[in-house]
C-alpha cells in the first residue's frame, strides 16, 4: 500500500513539474527608469496617489506616469522595448510580464509582453526583438493601437481626441476597431480620425517631421542606456 501511495505521489509531482515547464511560468515585472529630468511622477491615478520618479523607482502595470512641461523620462519596459515620454505627457502601464520555462536561468525566458496607453502628449518607442525569444509590445491611444512586427522606431502623439503615428525606422502596424490593419513605413505617418486610408509622407506635415526628428534624436540615447542595462539585467 505504501509503495502504491509513494508511486502515485511521485507521478503527480512529475506531472506538475512537466506541466510547469511546458507551459511556462508567467510573472509580472516592472519598468526600469533609465533617466528622468524635470518633474516626473508615477502612481495610482484613480486615487490621485503619486510620487516623484527616481532612478530606483519600479513602475508596475496599473501605474500612471506623468511629465510636466519640459520634463521627460526614459524607460525600459521589457528587454527590447524602450520608450521616452516627452513633457506634458501621460501614460498608463497596462501590461508588463515575462514567461519563463521554469528552470530559473537567464536563457529560460519564453516571451515578454508590454503594453502602454498614451493618454496625452508624445511617446517615442524603440522596439527590437534582439534574440529568439518572442516579445510583444503595443501602444494604445483613444483612437488607435500600434504594434511593431519587427525592429522599429516610432512616435505617437495624442491630445485625447486626435492621434498621430509617425514611423522613423522599420514598420509599425496600426489597428482601429474592426478596420483592416494599416502598416506605416519609415518616413510616413497616419492620423486619426481621418478620411485617408493610406499613410502620408511625413514631408507634407510639419508635426510629423518634428516627430521623426525627435525620434531620431532619442534613438541613440535609448540605445546607449539600454546597452548598459541589458548587461546588468537578470532576465
- 208: cell is 510629423
Side-chain-facing half-sphere of 221: CA atoms under 13 Å: 16
From the list 93, 46, 55, the residue with the least C-alpha distance to 74 is 55
Cis status, amide bond into 193, omega within 30 of 0? yes
* DSSP one-letter code for 204: G
Q: What are the boundaries of each domain within the chain? A: 26-232
User: What pTM does this model have?
Assistant: 0.83
**Which CATH entry fits the domain spanning 26-232: 2.60.120.1440, 2.40.110.10, 3.40.50.12160, 3.40.50.620?**
2.60.120.1440
CA-CA distance, 80 to 208, in Å (whole number)? Answer: 24
CA-CA distance, 187 to 131, in Å (whole number)? Answer: 26
| Torsion on CA atoms 170, 149, 114, 200, rounded to nearest 10 | 50
Quote the Cα angle for 69-72-75, to 5°: 155
Tens place of pLDDT per residue across the chain (235 aa): 445 444 444 444 444 444 444 456 878 899 999 999 999 999 999 999 999 999 999 999 999 999 999 999 999 999 899 999 999 999 999 999 887 665 554 555 567 899 999 999 999 999 987 655 567 899 999 999 999 978 999 999 999 999 999 999 999 999 887 677 889 999 999 999 987 779 999 999 999 999 999 999 999 999 999 998 876 654 4
- 13: cell is 509531482
Alpha helices for the chain (secondary structure H): 2-23, 206-232
Amino acid at each position: 500500500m505504501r509503495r502504491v501511495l509513494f508511486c502515485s505521489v511521485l507521478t503527480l509531482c512529475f506531472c506538475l513539474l512537466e506541466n510547469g515547464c511546458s507551459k511556462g511560468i508567467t510573472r509580472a515585472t516592472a519598468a526600469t527608469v533609465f533617466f528622468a529630468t524635470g518633474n516626473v511622477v508615477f502612481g495610482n491615478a484613480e486615487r490621485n496617489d503619486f510620487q516623484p520618479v527616481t532612478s530606483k523607482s519600479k513602475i508596475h502595470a496599473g501605474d500612471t506616469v506623468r511629465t510636466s512641461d519640459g520634463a521627460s523620462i526614459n524607460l525600459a519596459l521589457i528587454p527590447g522595448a524602450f520608450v521616452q515620454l516627452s513633457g506634458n505627457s501621460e501614460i498608463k502601464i497596462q501590461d508588463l510580464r515575462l514567461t519563463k520555462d521554469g528552470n530559473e536561468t537567464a536563457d529560460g525566458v519564453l516571451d515578454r509582453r508590454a503594453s502602454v496607453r498614451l493618454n496625452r502628449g508624445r511617446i517615442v518607442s524603440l522596439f527590437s526583438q534582439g534574440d529568439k525569444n518572442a516579445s510583444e509590445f503595443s501602444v494604445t491611444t483613444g483612437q488607435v493601437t500600434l504594434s511593431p512586427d519587427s525592429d522599429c522606431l516610432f512616435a505617437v502623439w495624442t491630445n485625447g481626441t486626435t492621434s498621430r503615428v509617425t514611423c522613423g525606422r522599420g514598420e509599425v502596424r496600426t489597428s482601429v476597431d474592426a478596420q483592416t490593419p494599416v502598416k506605416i513605413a519609415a518616413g510616413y505617418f497616419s492620423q486619426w480620425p481621418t478620411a485617408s486610408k493610406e499613410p502620408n509622407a511625413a514631408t507634407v506635415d510639419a508635426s510629423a517631421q518634428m516627430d521623426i526628428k525627435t525620434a531620431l534624436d532619442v534613438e541613440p540615447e535609448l540605445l546607449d542606456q539600454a546597452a548598459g542595462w541589458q548587461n546588468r539585467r537578470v532576465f
